[in-house]
Structure 1
């Protein structure tokens, strides 16, 4: 098959963040310069699914600015032939050092592009072989057509995402998009008891909604919302009857968390009851060691045993800046949860005899 045209490196670099938006797993590997140059070299070599043309990582590292500008077919064919021969010469001013082959192969291609089906692997070639084995997936390559722009480009990208990304990845991207939108006049939250509360629009409100509507029913047996506030310490909901029954004094002037959940459990004796102090972190403010101590004192002063307390920090996504910024501060003996991956939770477990790793099996 004939070799195809090469889109500009600038165009490839511009479109990668659109194709792989916030929330895409390993996005840093997918939108950086090395990814754009890897894709450029695949186009340059004509390595697109169905052409039986392939590249190896050394072709990316050995490419030069001078060679990349020679896009006529005869120059490209000659370069490919030379690069795959035993007589290839070491290029002057290559894009990357020779030891950068590993990041190209392991990070950009294997960890980034292949799991998202943007790159295909040549079958029947041993992993130890030096033969070229990577090519662009055909539908993915078409997203870089220069004739696509505006609504047509958006539609093509959306169609590719729906067809090739996993259901979990699609859900994650949709939620990340929702968190960036403030079009609604308010955020409506449906409480476990059927009541409804409204919050001002914004990422924190959407995250609070996710904690109450998604986290609580997944991880708690019989959830109740004891307390909900929003920015500026505005009290949105306070269950005074339940608080009084529990003996928990809720004083808005104290350093209360964004949300206090209560799991009444299945045991009417109260032995399974759990109070979950929750901070939603759209920007800052996780449950760190000091915060955990303050909240623990608040509960123990009300007569609660520490075994009936849990501490949760809710984030939008593992790839978000707030989580990356906060991870080193999160308190041991607390949990981290991500609204874009609602079925999973991180347990920052403290050591005790029952916490042996064998107990996780």
Structure 2
């Protein structure tokens, strides 16, 4: 007979998922929201752990109810496992989710989340079209939901599980984001490309601005310089009028300037880089790109001497997901959590001959 694991309340599972998967974890929303907690609960409830060779289907999660979840004796749990596998006859009073919710449970919570990061195993040898139960918690992951764990023991267990199961790149990504969380509560110290430092008011936008100056600029610009840096409420943090004048650019704080203006002095013709920092909103849209380009062309810059960058904390951040559809063609997106990568929204509309993918992948 299968030994059923102890059951943890859904709220406690939800809290632990948020501890296990810190900010910066790929698809974090998929594995930390309530539907993920309820999926884990159902697996624990029926003993769906890979070591037990017991598995569930996504539709079983939808069929759970609060009343049934409160019945935690082994005999009730075993009975519900059998019952939940039978074809439904009529509506289930108080069911957690509608029938069609099984698709997001399968595609997002499981395949795009818990399976992807090694927290849930798929039943081996099962055809992809099979309706048989397919998913189970890995034994090591299920152990993180033992109600007997003290807070200290839980912290140690989570750290050990992360070390063993999350990839180095995922851990690094999370570590970069966590570094912003533990920054000084009142100030963020930014090192400018010229080596000088400036203080900005603490907050998500300032942390991203710091990353742009210290990580993005040296990676993607040959000889970077900073012409303009501002923070919320239009406060000017740095303004290099001397360098701007040498480039023929007049920086007027009264104009609707971006959060940052960088310049690359390495190329034969300097490259002007307008950067919008997005912690909540304010991405470089088509309208914003047009307005910023006008500032540059008025100063004598050609369009191919101007770049537009929207900087975010992370690809999985709500701010990016909310604004990605509005990003201007011909602009870049950069993510603090993945500093070596930059995304280009390539536009071929100005080219008489459309550039091919074979050429794009060589960029």
Per the alignment, residue 286 of structure 2 pairs with 289
Matched, 1:128 2:125: no
Alpha carbons of structure 1 residues 57 and 215: separation in structure 2 relative to 1, 3 Å: same
Judged with a 3 Å threshold, the aligned counterparts in structure 2 of structure 1 residues 56 and 340 are, in CA distance, closer, same or farther, namely same
CA contact (8 A) 2:278 2:312 kept: yes
Distance 1:293 1:88 in 2: 58
On the 8 A contact 2:185/2:202 being kept in 1, the answer is yes
2:286 and 2:83 mapped to 1: Cα distance?
A: 60
How does 1:202-241 map onto structure 2 within 5 Å? 202-241=203-242
1:338 is aligned to: 335
Match of 2:198 in 1: 197
CA RMSD of aligned residues (A): 2.6
- Is the 1:181–1:202 Cα contact (8 Å) retained in structure 2? no
Query: Kindly tell me: are residues 128 and 285 of structure 1, through their superposed partners in 2, closer, same or farther at Cα, counting changes over 3 Å?
Result: closer
For the residues of structure 1 that align with 2:280 and 2:182, how far apart are their CA atoms?
A: 15
Q: Could you tell me how far apart the structure 2 residues matched to 1:58 and 1:329 are?
A: 36
- What do residues 168-190 of structure 1 show as CA deviations (whole Å, max 9, x unaligned)? 32233233333334535532323
Provide the secondary structure at the position in 1 that maps to 2:272. Answer: strand
1:152: Cα distance to partner? 3.5
Distance 1:107 1:348 in 2: 26
Secondary structure of the residue aligned to 1:235 is strand
Partner of 1:111: 112
1:222-278 superposed Cα distances (whole Å, 9 cap, x missing partner): 22222223334443333344323221122333322221111123x4xx24x311011
- Given that 1:227 and 1:261 are in contact with CA atoms closer than 8 Å, whether structure 2 keeps it comes out as yes
Which position in structure 2 is the counterpart of 1:275? 272
Of 96-105 and 36-45, deviating more is 96-105
**Offset, 1:110:** 0.8
Distance 1:115 1:293, change over 3 A: same
Measure the CA separation in 1 of the matches of 2:232 and 2:41. 46
What residue ranges of structure 2 are gaps of 5+ in the alignment? none
**Aligned partners of 2:202 and 2:84: how far apart in 1?**
55
Inter-partner Cα distance in structure 1 for 2:303 and 2:115: 46
CA contact (8 A) 2:5 2:44 kept: yes
Partner Cα distance (1:311, 1:194) in 2:
24
Q: The residue matched to 1:50 in structure 2 has which SS?
A: helix
* Aligned ranges 1:19-30 → 2 under 5 Å: 19-30=20-31
Distance 1:293 1:89, change over 3 A: closer
| TM-aligned CA distance change 1:251 to 1:101, over 3 Å | closer
* SS of the residue 2:262 aligns to: strand
Deviation of residue 355 (structure 1)? 4.8
- Match of 2:308? 311
Q: 1:312 to 1:355 in 2, by over 3 A?
A: farther
In 1, Cα distance between equivalents of 2:202 and 2:97: 46
Decide whether aligned partners of structure 1 residues 120 and 254 sit closer, same or farther in structure 2, where only a CA change above 3 A counts. Answer: same
Q: Tell me which moved more, 43-52 or 232-241.
A: 232-241
Q: 1:71 is matched with which residue?
A: 72
TM-score (norm 2): 0.87
Give the equivalent residue in structure 1 for 2:355. Answer: 356
In structure 1, the partner of 2:8 is 7
Q: Could you tell me how far 1:210 is from its partner in structure 2?
A: 0.6
Query: What secondary structure, in the 3-state scheme, does the structure 1 residue paired with 2:263 have?
Result: strand
Alignment of 1:134-213 (within 5 A): 134-213=135-214
CA contact (8 A) 1:12 1:40 kept: yes
**Worse-superposed segment, 57-66 or 255-264:** 57-66
Write the distance in 2 (CA, Å) between the matches of 1:326 and 1:58. 33
2:113 counterpart SS class? helix
Distance 1:102 1:229, change over 3 A: closer
Give how far 1:137 is off. 1.4
Alignment check: 8 A CA contact 1:182 1:202 kept: no
Residues 76-120 of structure 1: per-residue CA shift (max 9 Å, x gap): 223334545xx6663733433443332222221111111121101
